[in-house]
Chains A and B, each alone.
Chain A
Amino acid sequence: MNPLLEQFLSEARDFLQGIGEKLMQLENAPDDAALMGELFRLVHTLKGNSGLFDFPEMTRVLHAGEDLMDAVRNGRVAYSRLLADCLLDAMDFVGMLCNEIEANGAMGVTHAGTSVRLVESLRQLMERDAAGPRHADTIETAEAETASGATEHPSASFRADLPLAVIPEAARMDAYRHAGAGHLLHWIAYTPSEQCFYQGEDPFFLARQTPELRWGCIEARDPWPPLAEMDAYCCLLDFCLLTAAPRAELEEHYRYVMDQVEIAPLPRLALVLPQGDSNGGPVYDDFATDARHLLATGDLVGLARNAGTMLELSNPDLWIASALRWLRLMLEIEPENRAALAVLVESLSRLAAPDWASIQIGTTGSAEHSEITRPSQPDDGQFVATASESRPMEPINQGQAMANGPASAEADALAAIVATQREILALTDDPAWLPGRIKAAAAALAGCLRVSVAPDALPGLETGLDAATTLALADNSGAALLAWLDGQFSPSLDLSDAEGAAADGSVNAEETTATMARESTTQAPLAPTPPPEGDGEIKFGRRAEDAIAGPKSLKVDQAKIDRLMNLIGEMVVAKNALPYLAGRAEAVFGVRELSRDIKGHYAVINRIAEEMQDAIMQVRMMPVSFVFQRFPRLVRDISRKLGKEVNLVLEGEETEADKNIIEALGDPLMHIVRNSLDHGIELPEVRRVAGKPAAGTLTLRAAQESDRVVIVIQDDGKGIDPDAIKRKAYAKGLIDEATLERIGDQEAVNLVFAAGFSTAEQVSDLSGRGVGMDVVRTAVDKVNGTLALTSERGRGTHLSLSLPLSMAVTNVMIVVSDGQRFGIPMDSVVETVRVPRAAIRTIKHSLATVLRGRIVPLKSINGLLGLDVAPKANADDELAVLVVRLGNEAVGLLVDDFRETLDIILKPMTGVLAGIPAYAGSALMGDGSVLMVLNVKEIL
């Protein structure tokens, strides 16, 4: 998860919390305009933030919420409890999405429908309120609507107004065939917004990519205006599509435009619409009479034969021919659906469109039966669809679980279907249509599989079914298929179904009644199931009474951390007092045991205090990426402006350091990078001539080295010309002639850091870098950092910054001189040695000694501080020398004695003392005394 998203999630939680609180407060003070304004601002900001990410569902809901709040704010809509409920629901939804994003890194795709429902309920609230005052009953209906999410599945099993006749017969037959195999058909009306082209949408492409698309058409929304007045970029197209994809897949496909799409389930019988020239004739009357008779006697084969013959005799453009084609197709796909066949035959005789509504509404007779054997039958199909989409899929080979499961309605239906197939397959007679019967049973089982099995398990089961079917057809008996069925479903299932099925029952009336009876029992519990489901969905299981997942990060005011820091500082000081106490116990009071106890206790407290200090440091740590992240953009902009090509490489961005250090890094780094781009990296053509790649490389690398952060800025530019620097420094009076002759290239390069070296007009014509480098040095010094610059002409420059991880605690060494204690920062201490007085030479007025073959100049600390006392030697006439680092040189400080090292909290000098540069600061010691910490660089 990227940091931006993390931040969004943590902020979103705050916002949601705030929104919840404000809504509660508003309940007590509905007229508080300021509160309302604040609430609006919260929703507005949250919406804006969510727009940064790919969460259309979230943004959509928040947008609706924002609109509603705006209306409330402007007095167009009155605040009400219902409104607060709706908003809280919406915010719960958003919170749920946040949780999901946090858990999975992405949002599930199943929320599109819910978000649309929420948006609708929010918008409804706005419209109704705008229309006039509300009554109690309307509130109830609104609540009922929101609760049940009634808009999702229109109760009408299919809409009569769909322009199905537009679809070519071939496409409809194809879709019908598909539906016969257990797929659900959906009709999609996609109305893109007029402004959609400006949002970079291509609705046509979206429509073309619809999964399982069977047919589609594009229509103009309004008659076209005269061409001269036309606006090509105002979308006035509507799309109508017929697809066999499941609803969830469609919702995912259209998730960005869910509010512009209407998805309606389409029963396949609605597709059976004969079309053509409506010329009839007596021949057809005869056919209709025969067909009715054949249908009544169940001679479907005869009926198919008759229809085939009629079809050959008829002009294919005739309406009647079209009807006959449909009749043949229906006989092939669903021969057992007598009611539907009868309706079609009836329509044939009247030469009028079949009245499918009669079997949709009247749930009578054999229509019921077919409903059981065919899960995707019009009215039942919807229930199966609803159930299987809103519940987790249950693998069919867990047959018992299916039957005993809590949501047993669909399982019952499936069990009934399977039982019926089992009976059919178990028949021992051997009619001519046996192969057809086996195929029909196999098709029905395949349909069952499709609606009930998890998609990933489906291929395997289907292969098994296919194999069993082939086997069954080969030996012309249902046994093989029956065996497969027994393998997949526990035989115990059909015991319960056996009571209705006569032993010799063919597909006959007796069995039909039995299944009818069962259907009426299953139908009853079916109907009331959807509303509670919808209810559960809309509440998202996240209400105030539920356990709230606590946020994982806290936003804390920096002042509080600083206070903690100060407290731990005092703690360290107090802790440091314990060894003194132990010393006193022994020396003054002579209680050695107590002294030992105190020391033991000190060790414990010391450990805890150190850990605590470390923990507080961790809180203040920030990754270097905080300053690094601005560079890609900066480098890009500057290099564009200069006409250079630069590759920026960032490494070790996750390295952490104290917040103050990181913040102090920003400006120096900026200067360095700018210099590097301006003076370091050459123009592409120059680089090519020099045999380097045209694009320069600038590397920013951060790494932690023990208790320091090292940041390296490296380029492969032309480097710094030491001669030019020397000349410039000489001209500027920074170095004298002797130095000019003496200093090496490396030292010369470091002259760029000299104060006063860089003022713009002097340096801008210099070949090397230099602009603001003393600023860099000062900034780095301020945080106790060091700088090292190396450069090779023509090869590039390498600058490394070394900074302490944290400035809060300073490790100092305590030395004694003239009876006073001084602190020296450990950073600058190289070593402590005792040098015999004899080994100290005087060169002119300066003292020096030789340490490991190097001459080390010696200075007396007393002399440096203006104390007129000679350094004391110990009993062996040795002088204590503290060797400190000064730049690249070592200098020895003559002191009287060394003491321990200590971690102290360094307080900078304040007030009148602030002007004394010899001291870096002061610290309180454990025994209550004040330790002055020397600024070694300043006193030498």
Chain B
Amino acid sequence: MSIEFKRNLAVFREVVSVEEAEGLLEWLQKKPTAKVDLGACVHLHPANLQVLMAAKPVIQTWPTDAQLRVWLESALVAH
């Protein structure tokens, strides 16, 4: 599992594959105040990304991968 679900925090690690999206969606449906830690994430499948975009959880840590961060900011930070 490249997403570790803590009490109120989902920690993304390395490459988050398409299979994780279902679980992430369910988890976020249950936890409307959840936070997300993307620090160690290097790539995530867009299925996960759109779940994050729709659920709008608080991004606690942005990815350290600068390129990915720019992409995710374009998607997750409201213009």
Which residues of B sit under 8 angstroms from A495, Cβ to Cβ? none
Contact status A197-B71, CB under 8 Å = no
B47 touching A217 by the CB < 8 A rule? no
A673 to B2: give the CA distance in the assembly, Å: 44
Asked if B69 lies at the interface with its beta carbon under 8 angstroms from chain A, I say no
Is B79 touching A208 in the complex (CB atoms < 8 A)?
no
Interfacial residues of chain B within 33-74, with CB under 8 A of chain A in the complex: 43-51, 53-55, 67-68, 71, 74
Task: Check A232 against B79 for contact (C-beta < 8 Å).
Answer: no
Q: Is the CB of A220 within 8 A of B71?
A: no
CB atoms of A224 and B54 under 8 A apart: yes
Please name the residue on chain B nearest to A216 by beta carbon: B71
A237 vs chain B, min Cβ distance (A) = 5
* Identity of the chain A residue whose Cβ is nearest the Cβ of B32 in the assembled complex: A227
B52 to chain A, nearest CB (A): 10
Q: Does A892 contact B (CB under 8 A)?
A: no
Instruction: Determine if A235 is an interface residue (Cβ-Cβ < 8 Å).
Output: yes
Task: Let me know if B49 and A197 touch, CB within 8 A.
Answer: no
Interface residues of A in 216-257 (CB under 8 A from B): 216-220, 224-225, 227-228, 230, 232-233, 235-237
| Min C-beta distance of A391 to chain B, whole Å | 35
Asked whether A218 lies within 8 Å of B51 as measured between CB atoms, the reply is: no
Q: How far is the CA of A214 from the CA of B36 in the complex (A)?
A: 27
Is B11 interfacial (CB 8 A cutoff)?
Answer: no
- Do A235 and B71 contact each other (CB < 8 Å), given the known contacts A166-B79, A202-B45, A227-B55? no
User: Is the pair B75, A219 in contact by a Cβ cutoff of 8 Å?
Assistant: yes
Distance in Å from the Cβ of B67 to the closest Cβ of chain A? 7
Contacts of B44 in A (CB 8 A): 204
A589 on the interface (CB 8 Å rule)?
Answer: no
Residue A203 interfacial (CB < 8 Å) = yes
State whether A225 touches B46 (Cβ < 8 A).
no
Q: Which residues of chain A are within 8 angstroms of B67 by Cβ–Cβ distance?
A: 208
When distances are taken between beta carbons in the complex, the residues of chain B under 8 Å from A230 are 25, 51, 54
The chain A residue sitting closest to B68, CB to CB, is: A208
In the bound complex, do residue A225 and residue B47 qualify as a contact, i.e. CB atoms below 8 Å apart? no
Residue B8 at the chain A interface, CB threshold 8 Å:
no
Minimum CB distance partner of A203 in chain B: B46
Contacting pair B50 A232 (CB below 8 A): yes
Q: Chain B contacts of A203 at CB under 8 A?
A: 46
Min Cβ gap B45→A in Å is: 6
CA distance A208 to B28 in the complex (A): 26
CB of A205 closer than 8 Å to a CB of B? yes
Q: Do residues A235 and B50 form an inter-chain contact, with CB atoms below 8 A?
A: yes
* Least CB separation from A231: chain B residue: B25
Q: How far is the CB of A216 from chain B (nearest CB, A)?
A: 6
Tell me which residues across on chain A come within 8 A of B4, comparing CB atoms. Answer: none
Across the interface, which residues of B come within 8 angstroms of A232, CB to CB?
A: 21-22, 24-25, 47-48, 50-51
Q: Is the CB of A208 within 8 A of B50?
A: no
Q: Are B29 and A235 in contact (CB under 8 A)?
A: no
In angstroms, Cα B75 to Cα A217, docked, is 7
A residues within 8 A CB of B71?
204, 208, 216-218
Q: Which residues of B contact A166 (CB under 8 A)?
A: 79
Given the complex of chains A and B, what is the CA–CA distance between A143 and B21 in angstroms? 46
CA–CA, A236 and B51, complex, Å: 10
* Interchain CB contact under 8 A, A202 and B53: no
In the complex, what residues of B have CB within 8 A of residue A233's CB? 18, 21-22, 47
Interface residues of B in 5-28 (CB under 8 A from A): 18, 21-22, 24-25, 28
Task: Flag if B50 contacts A236 (CB, 8 Å).
Answer: yes
The answer to whether residues A220 and B79 also contact, given A227-B25, A232-B22 and a CB cut-off of 8 A, is: no
The listed residue with most A CB atoms (<10 A of its CB), out of B22, B45, B74, is: B74
- With A224-B53, A224-B54, A232-B24: A208-B43 Cβ-Cβ less than 8 Å: yes
A545-587 with Cβ < 8 A to chain B: none
Nearest residue (CB) in A for B45 is A202
Contacts of B22 in A (CB 8 A): 232-233
Whole-angstrom CA separation of A236 from B71 in the bound complex: 16
Q: Which of A204, A219, A227 contacts B54 (CB 8 A)?
A: A227
**Assembly CA distance A225 to B24 (angstroms):** 16
Q: Does A197 contact B18, Cβ atoms closer than 8 Å?
A: yes
B73, closest chain A residue (CB) = A217
Do residues A228 and B75 form an inter-chain contact, with CB atoms below 8 A? no
A216 CA / B29 CA spacing, docked (Å): 29
Q: Given A197-B18, A217-B75, is A202 in contact with B29 using a C-beta cutoff of 8 Å?
A: no
Question: Nearest residue in A to B20 (C-beta to C-beta)?
Answer: A232
**Alpha-carbon distance between A220 and B54 when the two chains are bound, in angstroms:** 9
* Choice from A202, A208, A220, A237 contacting B18 with Cβ under 8 Å: A202
Residues of B within 8 A of A219 (CB): 74-75
A109: min CB distance to chain B, Å: 25
Interface mask (A760-787 → B, CB under 8 Å = 1, otherwise 0):
0000000000000000000000000000
Shortest distance from the beta carbon of B5 to any chain A beta carbon, whole Å: 16
Q: Are A228 and B29 in contact (CB under 8 A)?
A: yes
CB neighbours of B51 from chain A (8 A): 230, 232
Whole-angstrom distance between the Cβ of B18 and the nearest chain A Cβ: 6
**Residues of B close to A218: CB separation below 8 A:** 46, 49, 53, 71, 74-75
Report, nearest first, the 3 A-B pairs whose CB atoms are least far apart: A217-B74, A224-B54, A218-B75
Q: Can you spell out 6 A-B residue pairs with CB atoms less than 8 angstroms apart?
A: A192-B46, A216-B71, A230-B51, A232-B50, A232-B51, A235-B46
13 other contacts beyond A208-B71, A220-B54, A227-B25, with CB at 8 A cut-off? A166-B79, A197-B18, A202-B46, A208-B68, A218-B74, A220-B53, A227-B55, A230-B25, A232-B24, A233-B21, A233-B22, A235-B47, A237-B49
